[in-house]
Amino acid sequence: MTERKPLFEFKNVHVKVDETEVVNGVSLKIYPGETHAIMGPNGSGKSSLANALMGNPSYTITKGEVYLDGENMLEMEPDKRSLAGLFLAFQYPLPIPGVTVANFLRSAVKARRAKDDDMSDFRKTLKAEMDGLSIDHPFAARYLNDGFSGGEKKRIEILQLAMLKPKMALLDETDSGLDIDALKIVAQGINRFHSDKNGILLITHYQRMLNYVKPDFVHVMMRGKFVKEGGPGLAMELEEKGYEWVEQETAQKVEV
């Protein structure tokens, strides 16, 4: 029998911001078709981990290994990681004045295709994906995230996901700042993207996003470590009992 190989894997990853260690030895395997959720309170290291995995130079991986489809991500600059199929939806997407949404996406899609590939389907695909996310077509001519509301920025992030079709999506608090209607639309976009060939790592504070994007596994992160792991029911327990319950449980284990 052929051994099943993970799509995305990181082992014993440590991350520093300046001289402070913010992630302290975390490991995870994600297989094709799986959705994993990382939950935890503010300051637990969730976003730092996502940024470090993507190659943000403000976050230094001081120890560990990271592989996507067998390729060593730590040997690649952020743009090469993206071309290899790694995607990060930012918690706080930045505006890029002077670059329209359509031109940004056209350039990004073209970079992923062969040099002579036909791009004639780009406009049709873009409009269809915008319709799926209830984004008005004139947004394609606006500067990326410039003057957008929080909800509009998050929809544009998922539009990028839909157009780029990465192997592995890191979604950093995509639900923050969304009202219930926008949350449902964004979740539907994530679910349309997901297949048995890609993977999702969803970072969130709250269980509400997981009502719509169902995780296979939930990992609780505190003080830069995974302290508890379980199935989708763990998210419901956290919603009911809060993170203090995990703190107390972890402390009891240490005492024993």
- Say what the pLDDT of residue 256 is: 41
The stretch 18-35 carries a mean pLDDT of: 97
Which residues in 146-175 are b (16+ Cβ under 10 Å) and which e? Answer: eebeebbbbbbbbbbbbbbebbbbbbbbbb
Question: What is the tally of structural domains in the chain?
Answer: 1
- Say what the pLDDT of residue 252 is: 63
Instruction: Give residue-wise pLDDT tens across range 121-130.
Output: 899 999 999 9
**Phi, psi of 246, rounded to the nearest 5 degrees:** -70, -40
* Residue at 3 is within a domain: no
* Residue at 1 is within a domain: no
**CATH code of the domain covering residue 87:** 3.40.50.300
* Residue at 2 is within a domain: no
* Residue at 113 is within a domain: yes
Residue 248 pLDDT grade (very low, low, confident, very high; cuts 50, 70, 90):
confident
Question: Within a 10 A sphere around the Cβ of 112, how many other Cβ atoms?
Answer: 15
Question: Within a 10 A sphere around the Cβ of 55, how many other Cβ atoms?
Answer: 20
Mean pLDDT (the chain, rounded) = 93
Instruction: Give residue-wise pLDDT tens across range 110-157.
Output: 998 767 677 888 999 999 999 999 999 999 999 999 999 989 999 999
Q: What is the 3-state secondary structure (H, E, C) of 1-52?
A: CCCCCCCEEEEEEEEEECCEEEEEEEEEEECCCCEEEEECCCCCCHHHHHHH
Judged against a pLDDT cut of 50, whether residue 50 lies above it is answered with yes
- Could you please report the per-residue DSSP string of 221-249? EETTEEEEEE-THHHHHHHHH-HHHHHHH
Cα angle for residues 154, 143, 128 (degrees, 5° grid): 60
* Residue at 223 is within a domain: yes
Host domain of residue 172: 8-255
- Say what the pLDDT of residue 72 is: 98
Instruction: Give residue-wise pLDDT tens across range 209-232.
Output: 999 999 999 999 999 999 999 999
* Residue at 126 is within a domain: yes
Instruction: Give residue-wise pLDDT tens across range 4-15.
Output: 899 999 999 999
- Say what the pLDDT of residue 205 is: 84
Percent of the chain exceeding pLDDT 90 equals 80
* Residue at 104 is within a domain: yes
